Amino acid sequence: MKTSTVKGTNDYLPKEAALRDFLMEEILRTYQSCGFQRIMTPVIEDIENLDKSEGGENLNLIFKVLKRGDKLEKALEAKDEKELCDMGLRYDLTLPLSRYYANNKEKLLSPFKCIQIDRVYRAERPQKGRLREFYQCDIDIIGTSSLTAEVELITTTAQALKNIGIGDFKVKINNRKLLKAILMTTGFQPEELDSVCISIDKLDKVGLDGVKDELSTKGFKSESIHKLAEVLSTKPFTLEEAERLCPEEESVKEIRFILDSVKALNSEFDVEYDITLIRGQGYYTGTVFEVESTKFRGAIAGGGRYDNLIGKFLNETVPAVGFSIGFERIFGILTDIGFQIPDRMKQIAVLYEEKDFIPAMEYAKEIRGKFNVAMYVKPKKTGKFIDKLQEQGCDGFYIFGQSEEINFL
């Protein structure tokens, strides 16, 4: 029997689990304080729903679940690979939320403001920062097209990030409609835009020359590639520049409203328009946003508007927008810097001889409330045991019958 975890999954020691609990509890508390309500959905979804969800590259990363019993035997006999599976593990929380809303719409407020904090699964190639099982922390607003939903999500997410102590960050905003309008001015055709966006999304990794090379390999016109390169190399490419290129585009006004509103509501973080912000999911239809740490490189939260996804279940348009905190990335950052949970109740160990169990337990009951108290029979090698306690995040110990007071580590 193997003792190691499956690749791409982790065990967490008590000290690590305590940090994860703190992060989840603080994020949940912040979301709830802003009027969002928590829901829960199954980890397994119908494979048809997953396959038709427009999840971009994530559709290639679905963990599929084989049929069982006679159904599996019939599928194997038919030698039809597509018929082998009828379920899959969710790869994000947005598709399950869309199904949930369609199934429970009549019981929910409109607009519906919800929280999801749960595990998701992707068949990634395991590496640092790429897990197969990980947590997402989402808030969504369903049932309104008002841009105030975007503003509320940005400010709520920012408050959660401040409350967990991640440090300084900035919020970047773009709009899929505006980006596509700008691409049209450079000569790309409507049917080419999604492919062009996929290439632009790699700008941070491969640079402008890499994007141009990929677009050339895809067979796009050199004139269009050249014009796009001029746009992407404009520093900074401001919202005013976007408006000059697309003076009739309504999404310019949408971005300006969000920027002005967020700035009016806070002075603690920067918010800016970024033409290169794409976001990978194919279901985004308008605003997309991302939070970037200014101290630690990379995104720590992101989301966008997905007005068409729920309609796949209800055959009617249902506007929706969501924001997700990058829980695992933040956990990794805080672990690496030795983050200490603020205002944490200290953990104390009471060591006792078995004959003293009852009075030792009475002592532990007396100090509980001031401390979290664990009871242990006093081992022969007390020093090594205390070292192990300290490694696991214990703050002090008391040897019943010997110690005059708690010994803090």
**Residue 17: inside a domain:** no
pLDDT at position 55 is: 65
**Distance of alpha carbon 173 from alpha carbon 157, whole angstroms:** 14
**Distance of alpha carbon 237 from alpha carbon 324, whole angstroms:** 26
User: What residue numbers bound the domain in which 229 lies?
Assistant: 176-270
**Residue 115: inside a domain:** no
- Is 140 part of any known ligand binding site? yes
- Is 284 part of any known ligand binding site? yes
pLDDT at position 84 is: 87
User: 244, 270, 296: which is the final residue of a domain?
Assistant: 270
**Residue 16: inside a domain:** no
**Residue 38: inside a domain:** no
**Residue 114: inside a domain:** no
In the chain (409 residues long), the average pLDDT of successive 10-residue segments reads 92 93 97 97 94 76 87 76 86 95 95 97 84 96 96 97 93 94 92 89 88 91 91 89 91 95 92 90 89 90 94 93 95 92 92 95 95 94 92 92 91
User: 270, 304, 339: which is the final residue of a domain?
Assistant: 270
pLDDT at position 114 is: 97
**What does pTM read for this prediction?**
0.90
pLDDT at position 71 is: 83
**Residue 251: inside a domain:** yes
Extract the tokens encoding 129: 């920062």
- Is 270 part of any known ligand binding site? no
- Is 92 part of any known ligand binding site? yes
pLDDT at position 32 is: 97
- Is 100 part of any known ligand binding site? no
How many structural domains comprise the chain?
2
Beta bridge partners of 64: 88
- Is 50 part of any known ligand binding site? no
Buried b (16+ CB within 10 A) or exposed e, 58-96: beebbbeeebeeeeeeebeeeeeeeebbbbbbbbbbbbb
- Is 294 part of any known ligand binding site? no
- Is 208 part of any known ligand binding site? no
**Residue 222: inside a domain:** yes
Question: Which residues, in sequence order, are CB contacts of 282 under 8 Å at separation 6+?
Answer: 54, 55, 56, 194
- Is 281 part of any known ligand binding site? no
User: 248, 270, 292: which is the final residue of a domain?
Assistant: 270
CA 108 vs CA 59, 93, 118, 286, 336: distances in Å: 29, 18, 21, 24, 41
**Residue 91: inside a domain:** no
